[in-house]
Amino acid sequence: MDRSVANFNTRLRTIRIRDLLVGLIVSFILLIVLMGIFPEIWESDDLFFIIYVGLILLFFAWALKGTRGLNSDFQDVLKKENFREIIYVFAINIIFACLFLYLISLLDMILGFGDPTWVSIWDIDSVSVDSSLLLFDAIASIIFAPVVEELIFRGILFNRLKIRIGIIPAMILSSFLFGIGHDFGGITSAFLFGMCMCILYLKTDNILIPISVHFINNVVATVMELTPFDAVTAQFPLIIPSLTITLIGTYYLIKYIVDKTTEIKKQYS
């Protein structure tokens, strides 16, 4: 990394992948040391994640120490045109994330109507919340994950890969790596979400904008998980309008990615 660079986003672009790997390894070593001192860290996946990600954030704090420009970056997030795009990109992605749920639920209903002996393949359980773990889960998924994931996958991986393999391949590869880190059922939606984050970051040169979308997305996704949203919207008769909305959202998500990547190709060709 080039510590002589004073601008926040420019310094971020100078952090190399090997710098990141060193930061991840050192953070993990420190985590092991802390786990030896505080054995209770072993007992909670969320606590483990929070501490490890917190250590990674310390790496970024050190790497970006002394930079300027965050105040103007925050102001850019609130600009009317940027804020509208933040909400739009969030909306089409969160809607698409429900597509497979509704498709499988509808198929399950159709099979059930045609065969009275059919045993449902899609069991949506009622939500059970452990209040002792809720705070850790909220901190991990809402606060830490959006910041660290955007800094790593867009701020470093995408920036470095686009130098070596080109912008569009870098978008695809960094988004694929981002996607495989998620649950199996969410890999596709995470991949497309990553593509959108690359587009926003490339368009604005402001990492706070994809972080903002990621933050809003995780807030809403967490609320949906803690409420009977799936159980209500995936049942008849709401399944029909729910599936219709997700299909419309899917169309606009694909259109957004195709249109923006086409613009990027023209701009950087």
Rounded CA-CA distance 161/198 in Å is: 12
Rounded CA-CA distance 86/258 in Å is: 17
More reliable by pLDDT, 53 or 227: 53
pLDDT of residue 173: 97
Question: Domain check: are 64 and 90 in the same one?
Answer: no
pLDDT of residue 40: 82
> Domain boundary residue among 68, 84, 99?
68
Stated pTM of the model: 0.88
Note whether 194 and 175 are within 8 A (CB).
Answer: yes
Which amino acid makes up residue 231? Answer: A
What range does the domain containing 199 cover? 70-268
Chain centroid offset of residue 66 CA: 27
pLDDT of residue 126: 47
- For the chain, the domain total comes to 2
Question: Domain check: are 105 and 206 in the same one?
Answer: yes
Rounded CA-CA distance 81/105 in Å is: 37
Question: Domain check: are 81 and 44 in the same one?
Answer: no
Does residue 58 register a pLDDT over 80? Answer: yes
Question: Domain check: are 59 and 169 in the same one?
Answer: no
pLDDT tens digits for 116-158? 665 555 555 444 555 556 677 777 888 888 999 999 999 999 9
Question: Domain check: are 190 and 58 in the same one?
Answer: no
DSSP track, the chain: --TT--BHHHHHHH--HHHHHHHHHHHHHHHHHHHHH-GGGGG-HHHHHHHHHHHHHHHHHHHTTT-B-HHHHHHHHTSHHHHHHHHHHHHHHHHHTTHHHHHHHHHHHHHHHH-TTPPPS---PPP---HHHHHHHHIIIIIIHHHHHIIIIIIIIIHHHHHHH-HHHHHHHHHHHHHHTS-GGGHHHHHHHHHHHHHHHHHH--THHHHHHHHHHHHHHHHHHHTTHHHHHTSTTTHHHHHHHHHHHHHHHHHHHHHHHHHHHHHH-
Q: By percentage, how much of the chain surpasses pLDDT 70?
A: 90
pLDDT of residue 41: 81
Question: Domain check: are 55 and 180 in the same one?
Answer: no
Does residue 263 register a pLDDT over 80? Answer: yes
Residue 166 Ramachandran class (φ > 0 left, ψ -120 to 50 alpha, else beta) = left
pLDDT of residue 118: 58
pLDDT of residue 120: 56
